Structures are given as C-alpha cells and as structure tokens.
Amino acid sequence: MEFFLIGLVAIGVGTVIWPYVAKTSAPWAGWLSAVAPAAIFLWLLTQAGPIAKGEIPSWSGQWVPQLNVALSFRLDGLGLLLSLLISGIGFLILIYGGAYLKGSPHAVPFFVYIQLFMLAMLGVASSGHLLVLFIFWELTSLASYLLIGLSHSELKARKAALRALFVTGAGGLALMAGILLLGLAGGSFDLHILQQNGDAVRNSPLYPAIFVLVIFGTFTKSAQVPFHFWLPDAMAAPTPVSAYLHSATMVKAGIFLLAKLFPVLGGTAVWHDTLTLTGAATMLLGAVLALAQTDLKRLLAYSTMSALGTLVMLLGIGTELAVTAAMLFLVVHALYKAPLFMIAGVVDKAAGTRDITQLDGLGCQMPFLAGAAALAAFSMSGIPPFIGFIGKELLYEAEINAGGYAVLVTCLGFAANAINVTVALKVGISPFRHRGRLREINPKARNLTLLIGPILLAVAGTIVGIFPAILGDGLIHAAVRDVTRHEPHVHLKLWHGFNWVLALSAVTVAVGVILYIFRDTVRALARVAVHCFPATASEMFDATLAAIIRLSASITRWIQHGNLRLYVAVVLVCLCGLVIAALASTPWTLAVPGSAVRLVPMGIALLIVVSGITAIQSHSTVMAVLAMGGVGLGVALLFAFFGAPDLALTQLLVEILTLVLCALVFRQLPAIRAISSASERNIDLILSAVAGAAVTIALLAVRSAPALDSGRVSADMAAKSLPEANGMNVVNVILVDFRALDTLGEIAVLAIAGMGVAALLLGSGRRDLRAELAIATPLFRTSVTWLTPLLLFMSVVLLFRGHNEPGGGFTGGLLAASALLLKRLAESDRPLHGNRTPLLLIAGGLSAAAISAVPALFFQKTFMSGFWLEGSVWLPFVGKTKFGTPFLFDVGVYFVVIGVCLLILTRLLRTEEPRKVRVA
C-alpha cells in the first residue's frame, strides 16, 4: 500500500512543481507526468490476485483526531477496479493530452489540474474513511471546475464550469451532511466498520435523511435526472478532459460511492425504487437526447449520461446479477467511451469540425484511427466478440430478472441500447466512411502520440471480450463481493448459447442500424420531442440562479438601504424588543428612588429636557450649540448635587471648551436645514420616546431590585484609598491608581481624537480666523495678560492637590487649556504655531503615563503599581503632598489634555478659504 501512497504523493508533488517542469522539459512533459500513474497501474495489477483472494492492502495514520478524521486507505476489490481505470486511462490521457495541447496556452494549467484530479480520484477510490473520501470527492469537483474553465476567455466555458461546480458543489454539501449523519447512525466514519453496521444504519431513525442526502450527492455527481444538465455543458472543456473526467472517471465517482455504500444503505425498498426508476429515466432521457445531437462530443456526453443511468438502475435492482452487470459495464463503458472521446478529439483537430453531418471520408487518410474507432464502436454496439457484447448480455439478463420492474426496465433498456448502437455508428463509423470526397487534414492531427490511447484501449476491449475470464474471475468478482457481501457465482462468458437474451441483442443491433440509416428523420423527431419541454435544464438552472441574484439584490436593497436614520431606528427597535423580552421573562418591580423626586434634581432635570428640546427645534446652529451646553450644564449640576464635585468640575470645563470649539466650527456651517419630512420626524419622536422610556424603565427596574447587602467594590475602594493609595480623593485615586488602566485608555482616546480632528480637517488652513473674529479688543487683551498666568497657576494647583481634594490632571489640564486658548485668541498679531508643540505635549503626556507604570516592575511589584517617595512635602495652596508614580501618571493626563485642546484649537483657527459647505 505504501507504494500506492507514494505514487499519490508523487502526483501531488507533480501538481505543485508542474509550471516549472513544463518550462524546462516541455516536449517530454506529457510522458514525464505519465510515469507515476503508469507505475501505480502496474502495481495495482500485481495486487489484483491477492485482493481477489481477500488480502486487502490498507494503511492508516492519524490526521485530525479532534474531528475523528484518520488518514485511512483501504484498497478493496471495488476500489481496485476504479483505481485501475483511473490510473490506466489516466496514463493514456496524459500522453494524449501532451500531444493534443502542444503549443496551447492551456497546456500548463491542464497538466496541473488533471494531475490534481487524478490524485483526488485515486483518493476517492482508495479511502477507507468517509470524511477523507469526501475531501477527495470535493477536490474532484474543484478540479473539474478548473478544467471545464480551461478555455476561460469564452463565456460559454465559464458558464459551464460554474454550472458543474454549482451542481456538484450542492451535491457535495448534501453528501457532507449525509456522511456526518451516517457517522452518527453507524458509530464510525470508517467504511469497513460501517459496512458491517449496515443494519444499525438502516434501522436508524436517521436513515431517511441519510438516504436523501447521500443520494442527492451521488446523483449530482453522476449526472442523474434532473441534475444531468451540467454534463453535456461540461463538453466546453478540451477533449482530453472530457475523455477522462466526464466519461471514464469523475462521473463514475457517484456510482462508486453508491456501490460502496450498498452494504450500508442498500437493500431497502426506497433504495430499490429510487435508484431503479431514476436510473432508468436517466438512461432513456440520455439516449433520446443523444439522438438529437450533431456535435460529436455532445453526442458522446448524452450517451455517457445514458450509461450512468444504466449503472444506477442496476445498483437499484441490486441482485447479484445486476451488480455483476454494473461492475462489468463500469469497465466496458470506460473501455469504449474513453477511446471514442479521444478519437473525437483527433477528428476535431483533423477536420476542424465536430459536426457529424459535415464529417466523412477520414478513413482512408487516417486508417489506424478509423480502425480503433471501429473496434470501440463495435464494442459499444454490443457485437460479439467485443467486451460490449458480454456487458449487454449480462445487462439484459439482469433487467429481465429485475423483479417488479422487469418489464419496464427491459423495455427502456432495449430502447437505450438500440440508440446506443446508433450513436456508436455515428461516432465510430460515419466520420470515416468514404463518400467520395477527400478533405484537407490538419497536419497537427497526424501525430502518432494521439493514437496510442485510443488504439490501446480499443484493443484491450477486444482482448477482454475474447478472454472475459481475465476480468471476470478476479477483478469483477472481487468488486461484486464488496458490494453484495456474498461470494459471487456469476461467471462471464462470451457465448451463452441461443436464448432470449441473444435474440434481444440481435434485435437491438438491427433496430440501432435502422435508426442509423434513417438518422436525419430520427434526429428531426428527437428534436421535436426535445422541444416539447418549455426549457432545457440548463436554461432552468440559469434562470433560477438569475432569480436568486435578483431576489438577493432586492432583499439587500431593502436591508442595506443607506438611510442612517432607519439604521439607528432598527437598533432602537431591537433595544425596545429586548427590554420587553427581558422584563417579560423575569419578576420585577418599579420603585422610584426617593432621592430623585426632590425639588432641586427635578428642576435640573427640567433644565436638561427643555435644553434638549430647544436644541432639536432650533434652526440656528449657534442656538443649538448653546442649548446643548445647557444640557451639559444640567448634567454638571446633577453631579454636584449628588456629591461628585470632581465630575461636576470636569463636566463644566468640558462644556465650556466644547462650546467655544463648536462656536468656531459652526460659524462656517450654513443654517440647519430640515432633511426629513414632518411625518418622519414624528415617527422618530415616538420611537425615541419609546426607546427612552424602555431604557428608563430598565434602569429603574434594576435599581428597584433588592440591593446587594455587601461586596460592592466601591466600598473596598473607599476603604483602601487613603491607607493604601495615599489619597483622600477617591475619585482621583480611582482614575490614577485603582483603575489607571482605564484612564490610560481614555487619554489614548483623547490623543486619537485630537490628532484625528487635526488630520481630518483638510484644506489649506492658511487663513487665520482670529482676524475675522475681531474679539482681540484692547480690554480683552489686557484682561488676558493677567488672567492667563492666574488660570495656569490654578491649573497647576488643581493638578497637585487632586489626589486629596477635588481636582486632578483632567480638570487641571482643561483649565490650563482654557487659559492657553484665551491667550491664543488674544494674540491675534502673533502667528499661530504649527502642530508640533501640541503633538509633543500629547506624546510627552502619554509617555509620562506609560513610564509611571514601569518603576514598580523593578521592585518586584505588579505593572502600574504605585511607587511612593518616603515622606511628604508641604506646598503652598496645596498642603501636604506625597509624590509617587500615580502623580506622574496624573501629570501625563494633564499634558495630554492640554495638547489635545491646543491641537484642535490651532487647527480650527487656521481655516481654509470660505466655501459652500453642504450638510449631508
């Protein structure tokens, strides 16, 4: 088994290094790539004997234990049969492809993808673990997508590739679900174990789901009605691809998996009915559609579809005879279909057309090709002594003994087989018949390398036809045994004596020949039949896809409409909904805390509400800004009233600065315009009122719940503030020590905001706004000259005493910024500085805050721990002060605040030339 796996790895390596190999050894590229599959093929032949005796080569290793995926390979009779086809035909295709695509720009990608495909397909055939099989399975779909799209300049090829990927991809996803369920029902993903647990799976309640999913997966892959349409379209791929993927190997993957899972899922009524009927329908439809075609490759594609239907039908019938017929037909079909495809490719090259009505007379110019074509066509027609004959005999025998459906499937089978004869004649004989004119042959087609594949395969079909035991007693028996789990006793013979089956065979050939003779009439009739359908399956697929895209476009337009107002509305609606859901599912009460219903806070609340409404109603920006200032003032008053002087002070300073900055900005904006209609505003009003009510009720409900007895962090903080953090002002201690990390983040936010404003206010910025403001009156200047130092001094005092009394870096910084702001406004004759100084202040402040966190590390203490100097210093206006790293941190805050305010201010004062600004 190691030999086989090394072969797989070699193919994989070949895939990766191919672009390089192709460059260096172009003429030998095809041959070189054929080495690995040839070696694998020969090794497989040596294993045929042991496998027939039941000595199964296997190998397993770990891969993803968390998901129960083991790299397990197991080459049983069924796997061997498929592997032989893949490696044997693959070897020939690579040689053929090298010659076929000589000089084409598609040659390199062809070899990359076809080797990837071969690897994947051999993986499917040899996997012993369902999920590993699935991985390879999906890889075949992917390789098929890339190969169908080789002629990627053509829209047709791209569309065909997408159809194939979509159909097989959908099947793949279903299969994945099916496999996962199978693992649940059967207790393992190991195929060998599953095959022995068939009864458990069949009796599981999951069986119907598993069945549907697996069947969907395999039917899409093997082009069963109604998922067949991708296969004929896939003929957009270059001929070597069609010959390999879409006749001999990939489409057989579905059949292979059905056979593999036969012991697990088969034997039920639903299996029998579904497979038999779908298979029969596909078989007939493929045959009829084939009659309507004139393109060689499409003709072959539809006959392949018919053959796939036959195989599924046989697995549905499920008797030993039927399974044997299926296994044999799997080989037979590959042996004639692959050479016919390759021949079609050469014909196309030679004559420049694939239209059978245009093709004739190639025989005398290309005798070897004609010979191979004839051999393959005879085999396909089921004429003795070719292997196709044995296949057909067995097929009829299985159909006649098919139990309940015997009559139906025999009749349909007869029709399909007769049409098969016609197709064989059209493809294998007609183009070569001499009808009295010689045509120009493209010299490129006269390449002997192109003939190797067809001739070898056609001859092989003849030899095994004469000596069927080569196949029958070893390979086929081993494969049948794997499917039915019994020792098979059907033996392959060329001659069964004169019986009904032989007569049926003879009539089939006769009818086929008649259909061939009247081919033009028959084609016309078939076309009429085809036109009875309103649309082809491909058209329906395209229409469905287009409908999905249209639907998605309208849904998306509906959700992603671009209206910010409605986006916010959706969030608020969700908020209300969630609050209602939460309150509906838990017990709650509503009690308004007594502290809130006193006169002063109610008055402040009124101020906030009135200011807010004024801001909304106002049409003047200045008025709106002032009103918002009123809201801020109210909040500051509330802080002060409920005993948080630090917060109140900070809030107040922030409000003042904001007011000034906003005044500077909004001077340049036009008046507020109403951009929504009155009714929209009413709806918004209702919605925001409801959302506000929901939040209020939620907050009150939380507050009304029984309070915690103890364990509030704030209590701990108050207790630790002075003894452990050397500060009497708990608020400041929280900011610079207990939760200094928050503050570090917040000053970063400030820095980003300041720098962001500076960065986003674009334009020239050459005009100094101060000249226009004309506030630098002599009185203003004079007062500023003495006010600025005073304010700066006060700000420093605030900074220093902040740890013990209201104040701190934030408040201090804001005050200092106000002072510097006044100074800047007054000094309208001195030019404004650039961004440099404010940026240095910001960087310096951030550094101070960051550095303050570090000293503790040198003393084996935690990051950001306070590190205090011994003793304390008495300072005027401040009192006794201790110095430590938290103070350094606060200094950092102080400078960041100053830097940010200055940066924004400087930028706002240097505006660009006035221009019309539109409010969006």
Partner 1 sequence: MSRFPLYIFLLIPLSAAITLILLQGRAVAQRWVSVSSAALLSATGFLLIETVRASGPVILDAGGWAAPVGIRLQADMLSAMMVTITGIVGFCGALHAIAEVPANEERRGFHAFYQFLLFGVCGAFLTNDIFNLYVWFEVMLLSSFVLIALGGKKAQTEGAVKYVVLNIVASLIFLLGAGMIYATFGTLNFTDIGERIARGEGSQVGTRLSAVFLLLAFSAKAGVFPLYAWLPSSYHTPGHTISAVFAGLLTKVGIYALIRTFTTAFQSEQDFIFPLLLWVSLFTMVTGVLGAASQFHTRRILSFHIISQIGYMTLGLALGTEGALMATIFYVIHHILVKTNLFFAAAAIDRTGGGEDLNHTGGLYRSAPWLAGLFLVSALSLGGIPPLSGFWAKLALIKETLGMGAWIAAGIALAVGLLTLFSMTKIWSEAFWKDRPEDTAPARALHWGHVVPMIILATATLILTFYPTYLLELSQIAARQLFIPARL
Q: Which of residues 43-72 bind partner 1 (CB under 8 A)?
A: 63-67
594 binds partner 1 (CB under 8 A): no
The span of 233-241, 279-287, 520-528, 836-844 binding partner 1 (CB under 8 A) equals 836-844
Give me the least distance between CB of 912 and partner 1, in Å please. Answer: 13
What distance separates the 2 farthest-apart alpha carbons in the chain? 129
Q: Is the CB of residue 116 less than 8 Å from the CB of residue 19?
A: no
Beta carbons within 8 Å of 453's beta carbon, 6+ residues apart: 89, 92, 93, 95, 96, 338, 339, 342
- Cα angle value 163/168/172 (rounded, 5°): 145
- Alpha-carbon gap, residue 822 to 816, rounded angstroms: 10
Give me the least distance between CB of 451 and partner 1, in Å please. Answer: 32
Q: Give me the half-sphere count of Cα atoms (radius 13 Å) on the Cβ side of residue 326.
A: 34
Which of 743, 736, 714 minimizes the C-alpha distance to 866? 736
Give me the least distance between CB of 898 and partner 1, in Å please. Answer: 15
> 609, 840, 875, 919: which one contacts partner 1 (CB under 8 A)?
840
Q: Which of residues 182-201 bind partner 1 (CB under 8 A)?
A: 184
Q: Which of residues 729-758 bind partner 1 (CB under 8 A)?
A: 737-742, 744-746, 748-749, 751-753, 755-756, 758
Nearer to partner 1, 570 or 693 (CB): 570
Nearer to partner 1, 339 or 838 (CB): 838
452 binds partner 1 (CB under 8 A): no
810 binds partner 1 (CB under 8 A): no
Which of 332, 326, 113, 396 minimizes the C-alpha distance to 238? 113
- Alpha-carbon gap, residue 303 to 296, rounded angstroms: 11
Give me the least distance between CB of 681 and partner 1, in Å please. Answer: 17
Q: Which of residues 261-290 bind partner 1 (CB under 8 A)?
A: none
Strand, helix or coil for residue 72: strand
Site string for partner 1, 760-799 (x = CB under 8 A): x-x-------------------------------------
Give me the least distance between CB of 920 and partner 1, in Å please. Answer: 7
Nearer to partner 1, 269 or 760 (CB): 760
> 582, 602, 771, 775: which one contacts partner 1 (CB under 8 A)?
582
Can you say whether the dihedral through the CA atoms of 497, 503, 509, 513 is positive or negative?
positive
- Alpha-carbon gap, residue 113 to 18, rounded angstroms: 10
The span of 20-28, 295-303, 776-784, 854-862 binding partner 1 (CB under 8 A) equals 854-862
> 170, 522, 654, 672: which one contacts partner 1 (CB under 8 A)?
170
Q: Which of residues 552-571 bind partner 1 (CB under 8 A)?
A: 552-553, 555-557, 559-560, 562, 564, 567-568, 570-571
549-to-542, 543, 545, 557 alpha-carbon distances in Å:
11, 10, 6, 12
- In order, the DSSP letters of 215-243 are HHHHHHHTT-TTSTTHHHHGGGS-HHHHH
Which of 245, 243, 269, 274 minimizes the C-alpha distance to 258? 274
Look up residue 874 and give its amino acid.
Answer: W
> 711, 723, 778, 871: which one contacts partner 1 (CB under 8 A)?
711
The residue count for binding partner 1 (CB under 8 A) is 113
Nearer to partner 1, 316 or 899 (CB): 899
The span of 375-383, 605-613, 696-704, 818-826 binding partner 1 (CB under 8 A) equals 696-704
> 70, 104, 169, 796: which one contacts partner 1 (CB under 8 A)?
169
- Alpha-carbon gap, residue 445 to 448, rounded angstroms: 8
310-to-274, 284, 285 alpha-carbon distances in Å:
13, 9, 11
866 binds partner 1 (CB under 8 A): yes
- The residue whose two tokens read 């084409």 is 104
> 8, 92, 181, 791: which one contacts partner 1 (CB under 8 A)?
181
Q: Is the CB of residue 100 less than 8 Å from the CB of residue 46?
A: no
> 6, 21, 32, 177: which one contacts partner 1 (CB under 8 A)?
177
What kind and span of H or E run contains 778? helix 778-801
Backbone angles phi, psi at 190, to 5 degrees: -75, 120
> 122, 717, 820, 897: which one contacts partner 1 (CB under 8 A)?
717
> 438, 507, 713, 875: which one contacts partner 1 (CB under 8 A)?
713
The span of 46-54, 299-307, 432-440, 577-585 binding partner 1 (CB under 8 A) equals 577-585
Q: Which of residues 84-143 bind partner 1 (CB under 8 A)?
A: 105, 131, 134-135, 138-139, 142
